[in-house]
Amino acid sequence: MADTEAANLTYAQIDDDVLGAMKKPPAAYFAFLAVLATGVGVFFITWQYQIQVGMGVAGVSHPVGWGAYIGNFVFWVGIAHSGTFISAILHLLRSKWRDAVSRASEAMTIFAVMTAGLFPLIHLGRFWTFYYILPYPSQRQIWPDFLSPLVLDVLAITTYLIVSMIFFYVGMIPDLASARDRIAATSGANHWRARLYRIMALGWCGAASQWNHYGRAYLYFAALATPLVISVHSVVSWDFAVGILPGWHETIFPPYFVAGAIHSGLAMVLTLMIPLRRLLRLGRLVKVEHFESVAKTMIVTTLIVGYAYVIEPFIAWYGGNVFEKQWFWWVSTGERAPLYYLMIALNVLAPLTLVFRAARRNVLWLFILSLLVNAGMWIERYQIISAATAHDFLPHNWGWYSMTWVEIAITAGAFTLFLLFFTAFAKLLPVLPMTELKESVGHHKDRALGQPLPRDPGGRIAASACGVMAVFSRPDALLEALKHVRRNSTLKELEVFSPLKLGELSHALGLPHGPVRFWTLAGALLGLGGGFALAMGSAAVNNLIAGGKPPVMSIVPYCVVAFEGMILLGAIFNLLGMLFHARLKPGGRLPQVYDARFSRDRFGLFIACELERINQARSDLAATAPEELHVIR
Amino acid sequence: MSSDDAHPSPPRPVQRHLLRQAIWLAVLIAGVIVWLISFGGGGGAARAWRGLLISFIFFTPLSAGLVVWSAAVLLSNGRWIGRLERAALSGFSFAVPSLVVLALLWMGSGTWLPWSGKELSQGVWLNRHFVFARDLGALIVLWALAAWYVRRRTSGDGRVAGGWLIVTYCLVMSLLGFDLVMALDPKWYSTLWGGYFFISGLYAAVTVWTLLAIWSPGGTRDRMHDLAKLIVAFSILTAYLAYAHVLVQWYGNIPHETRFLVPRMNFEPWRSVSVAIVAAAYLGPLVLLLTIRAKRTRWFLAAVALLVLSAMWLERCWLVTPTVQWTAPPAMQPDQLRLAIGLAELGPLAALGGVLALGIEVFTALVPPRIGQGAQDL
């Protein structure tokens, strides 16, 4: 059983596999980067061409004002969903299989949101006017109208990007410390990578006091990110659903868009992780069982998407609305019919093969299927967005839309841009969460440890520091030692260093939950109130009656603004609280008693004391049978 | 005085079972009597039948949802369920009562269904006999699958049966939601209605499961904490789906859609009921169960669960009654709106609640505490 095999890995082997994947890449890697960079070049040159010549070079024209660009936007926002889904929701559900794919999924989220964010700008034509939509105190008192779902969309996407980046970065801090220590040991402390990771690791040393605040903060990030995932694609769906066009105005759009987004995101996880596992030789850590779990989750999203595909035409018929009925008739039997049935085949029928275990465990089929679902979901977005406006209420207003070469080039270029980001990430940052993998292998067995890294000679034992450090190779031994010292020793100034989060550590040290939660709650409440205040205040300034809605007290849509504010400020305050209490800052200094092995595979228990009590500390720690004992004078 | 006199020994388990069963039987009989009396009340037979409908759409998704929760935890490899699984499976005891009540509603549909005997644009789809025949058939299929699952679960693994059960639950509850609630006003429709109906059913189910867990032997503080988190998650999910309805229809402002919102959001007494439902059922758990201590305190969690269940039953009234009042001739008159919660509504609540509770008592007396291969008390 592969899980057993993975559980037999040592902490050092996990480090070696993940950090080994970051070693200097071969020439083929740079050749691939060059190909992607060429695609990105085509993307930007084509965009520049469109800016210079005008939007006429795109296919969007009356009556289809929203075409492939908005379709691409929705598609990429959808791709971005699974990262946070896997990371946040599965973290809350304590699903172990997330560990193998969570980091890459989070990276995928960030790059997908960045790619998605370009498309509204491309669609704008004169993209530099985008700032009109931002809520800033303009001297002309022109505020955005928070009744507009497009403004809500800007808030949601911006919040999602910021929170996802914070979540991605915070989750990586202990791993960056591992990378920092390894690069410093193998390439020297002045290597550019060592400097980069030293800045990014924020002075992380794996002390119990840091883990305590970090663990709580990470949990709150997950709790904040989970509803955010649901909200973002719901808000995107409302761009269409709150309009009254047949094919758009549907209450089922929010959950349907969210399920579709997770569906396509999971498919993209497979598209990226299957080759990545092979190219970076991560087969010991990323198993077929992990892909199978992704596939099982895809069965759920397939069923939800299939449910929506059935309900939409049923209700169009049931309601008896002539416009709805003619629209669905046209989509399913007219010129668009081939795309409609292809969408159903790729998004529902093909993934239904995953109900068979053999299909779920066939990596080649999973890879092919992931490409099919990606194609299917792109077609679905294209279909939803461009078909509704092409065939609305009045027959004389009906039209047609097809992509021009400019739109095709920009669409294809976006894929190369996304892949360029991801390829760079794969070699620059740890692609798997080492600390979480270490947690999942367990720590109850006495196993052979890998070769330890050389100990950092740079001031680990400082003349000014006084105390005794005991080093352990197993966390259960550390916990036993800690309990023994706390029970029997009169010396109470203790610190513990660990390369992974040990749930029992805070309890064994008697650490309280910590005050980060109050920061988070304060930020969330401030954001909630601030969101309502911003929406109502700007409406009071503008005081425009738009779409027959009351300008100031439109509580129903303002809930979205307040919600996004709550999540955004909650996450930012959570981050600030964690940084403050865990004493983390860019390039932060490590304590002098720190040992580079504490980020890899060793645990430290340090008793701080005056010089005259060193012998007592040493005898207290010696009774715990540590692997090493160091006196620090 | 002997010490025995001072501290009388507690009744033995069998006696306790019998005592509780007798109490629930009494509640059931009292509910039926009250309901029968309500036929002669102000709203007449139509209101009495609709009172039965309200409790049917409250208890049926809830009881089937209890069994579905067991399957959902099993299929998601949840190992925390342990001895609480029996409590979830006990929802199966409502199978026969729910089928009987649906058959009764069919029999009385000529009296209470607002559009009975009218020709509608949906044609034969909303022929009342076809409506109830397919609903009864669908519910039989659902309970048959539940029986298969319970049987497999008490003797083996049950993953395949569980998968089918979950999918069928979502489809059947969607159908019941469309047919018995949305179709009360045939001119109003929503693609999300089925989704809201089955998710809110699962929400009520996990709340009842929590109440059962609080009093069952496996109901440790850790398990209460887990279930309380599920209550919070499903309150948010249910609120999200309700909000998705309101936002789209509020923006669209199309008459055939706002006919659902207007009597509930614009006029009393249902506007206040809407606020109460939002406060207690949709947002209540998020606020009241925010802290760890709240989730792990037995009496407080029980109080919150009862509050949520009360609000969800009120929500079922809120779904049915304003629709009938608002669309009854002369249609669209605010002065037609009444709170209308009396004997006709409370009688079926007691009767069906008594049946479910009695069934749970009997089920737990017959089925051993530990079920299946994977059950672990962690």
Mark yes or no for CB contact B247/A308 under 8 Å. Answer: no
Among the ranges A134-138, A432-436, B41-45, which has the highest mean pLDDT value? A432-436
Mark yes or no for CB contact B251/A242 under 8 Å. Answer: yes
Shortest distance between the Cα of B16 and any Cα of chain A, in A, equals 37
Mark yes or no for CB contact A249/B254 under 8 Å. Answer: yes
Q: With beta carbons less than 8 A apart as the criterion, state whether B82 and B375 touch.
A: yes
Whole-number Å distance between alpha carbons of A444 and A17? 22
Residue in chain A lying closest to B290 (CA): A521
Window from A111-120, A318-327, B79-88, B185-194 with minimum mean pLDDT: B79-88
Is the CB of A315 inside 8 Å of chain B's CB atoms?
A: yes
For the stretch A318-359, pLDDT in tens is 998 899 999 999 999 988 899 999 999 999 999 999 999 999
| CA angle in degrees (0–180, nearest 5) for B49-B54-B56 | 90
Q: How far is CA A434 from the centre of its chain?
A: 16
The CA-based dihedral angle spanning residues A246, A252, A255, A256, taken in that order and rounded to the nearest 10 degrees: -50
- What own/partner pairs with CB < 8 Å and gap ≥ 24 does A313-321 have? A315/A250, A315/B189, A315/B190, A315/B191, A316/A246, A318/B122, A318/B125, A318/B178, A318/B189, A319/B189, A319/B256, A320/B121, A320/B122, A321/A246, A321/B256
Question: Based on C-alpha coordinates, what's the Rg of chain B?
Answer: 21
pLDDT bracket for residue A461 (50, 70, 90): very low
Whole-number Å distance between alpha carbons of B138 and B102? 11
User: Residue A456 pLDDT > 50, yes or no?
Assistant: no
pLDDT of residue A6: 57
User: Residue B11 pLDDT > 60, yes or no?
Assistant: no
* Mean pLDDT confidence for B331-338: 80
* Mean pLDDT confidence for B150-173: 91
Give contacts of B193 with chain A, Cβ < 8 Å.
251
Whole-number Å distance between alpha carbons of A484 and A482? 5
Residue in chain B lying closest to A318 (CA): B122
Q: Between A and B, how many CB-CB pairs are < 8 A?
A: 78
Give contacts of A255 with chain B, Cβ < 8 Å.
192, 195, 241, 244
Is the CB of A550 inside 8 Å of chain B's CB atoms?
A: no
| Residue A329 structure tokens | 């008739």
Mark yes or no for CB contact B236/A227 under 8 Å. Answer: yes
User: Residue B373 pLDDT > 50, yes or no?
Assistant: no
* Mean pLDDT confidence for B79-103: 90
Shortest distance between the Cα of B280 and any Cα of chain A, in A, equals 18
Residue in chain B lying closest to A149 (CA): B251
Is the CB of A319 inside 8 Å of chain B's CB atoms?
A: yes
Mark yes or no for CB contact A251/B236 under 8 Å. Answer: no
Shortest distance between the Cα of A140 and any Cα of chain B, in A, equals 28
pLDDT of residue B118: 83
User: Residue A441 pLDDT > 80, yes or no?
Assistant: no
pLDDT of residue B354: 95
The residue written with tokens 């080649």 in the block is A364
Give contacts of B254 with chain A, Cβ < 8 Å.
244, 249
pLDDT bracket for residue B216 (50, 70, 90): confident
* pLDDT, mean over chain B: 88
* Mean pLDDT confidence for A16-24: 86
pLDDT > 70: percent of chain A: 94
Mark yes or no for CB contact B243/A559 under 8 Å. Answer: yes
pLDDT of residue A448: 36
Give contacts of B170 with chain A, Cβ < 8 Å.
307
Interface test with B, best of A238, A318, A352, A554 (most B CBs within 10 A): A318
CB-based contacts of B318, cutoff 8 Å, min separation 6: B264, B270, B273, B274, B277
- At A501, the amino acid letter reads K
* Mean pLDDT confidence for B264-289: 93
Window from A6-10, A238-242, A330-334, B158-162 with minimum mean pLDDT: A6-10
Q: Please provide the size of chain B in residues.
A: 378
| Residue A343 structure tokens | 């969408």
pLDDT bracket for residue B13 (50, 70, 90): low
Mark yes or no for CB contact B244/A234 under 8 Å. Answer: yes
Q: With beta carbons less than 8 A apart as the criterion, state whether A80 and A164 touch.
A: yes
Mark yes or no for CB contact A318/B125 under 8 Å. Answer: yes
Mark yes or no for CB contact A312/B191 under 8 Å. Answer: yes
Shortest distance between the Cα of A262 and any Cα of chain B, in A, equals 16
Nearest to A242 among B189, B240, B252 (CB): B252
Is the CB of A150 inside 8 Å of chain B's CB atoms?
A: no
Give contacts of B243 with chain A, Cβ < 8 Å.
559
Mark yes or no for CB contact A559/B121 under 8 Å. Answer: no
pLDDT of residue A551: 67
Mark yes or no for CB contact B191/A250 under 8 Å. Answer: yes
Residue in chain A lying closest to B178 (CA): A315
pLDDT of residue A480: 87
* pLDDT, mean over chain A: 87
Q: Please provide the size of chain A in residues.
A: 633
* Mean pLDDT confidence for A139-160: 85
pLDDT of residue A460: 34
For the stretch A549-591, pLDDT in tens is 776 678 888 999 999 999 999 999 999 999 999 889 887 788 8
* Mean pLDDT confidence for B173-201: 95
pLDDT > 90: percent of chain B: 62
Give contacts of A241 with chain B, Cβ < 8 Å.
248
Helix (H, G, I), strand (E, B) or coil at A471: strand
For the stretch B177-190, pLDDT in tens is 999 999 999 999 99
Residues of B with CB under 8 A from a CB of A: 76, 121-122, 125, 167, 170-171, 174, 178, 189-195, 236, 240-241, 243-254, 256
* Mean pLDDT confidence for A478-500: 85
Q: With beta carbons less than 8 A apart as the criterion, state whether A223 and A92 touch.
A: yes
